[in-house]
Amino acid sequence: MDGTVRYTGQNNDRDPILSEIGGVVPTNVATTYSRYDINLDGAVKYSGNGNDRDVVLQIIGGVVPTQVRAAQLP
């Protein structure tokens, strides 16, 4: 929501996904409508096949997890 995509570091986009599923067990799945369902499959997943965390990594380039991608503005 801050105009950047971050996988690691302060204000990253990965930690809210973990918080959405309870913040303790990374294999939990939240099956609720949420803005953290990044791949829009109806479930918020932090780990496992089809998780939302990997989408964040792919958006920033998928190679260097410390890279930051700025939002494209019209």
| Residue 8 pLDDT grade (very low, low, confident, very high; cuts 50, 70, 90) | very high
- Report, as an integer, the average pLDDT of 36-65: 94
Give the dihedral of Cα atoms 22, 41, 36, 29; nearest 10 deg.
Answer: 10
Q: How far apart are CA 31 and CA 46, in angstroms?
A: 12
Q: Judge whether residue 20 has pLDDT over 80.
A: yes
CB atoms within 10 A of CB 31: 11
If you average pLDDT over residues 18-33, what whole number do you get? 94
pLDDT band of residue 74 (cuts 50, 70, 90) is low
Question: What residue ranges in the chain does DSSP mark as E strands?
Answer: 4-6, 29-30, 44-45, 68-70
pLDDT at 53 over 80: yes
Q: Which of 6, 17, 16, 7 is nearest to 48 (CA)?
A: 17
- pTM (2 decimals)? 0.86
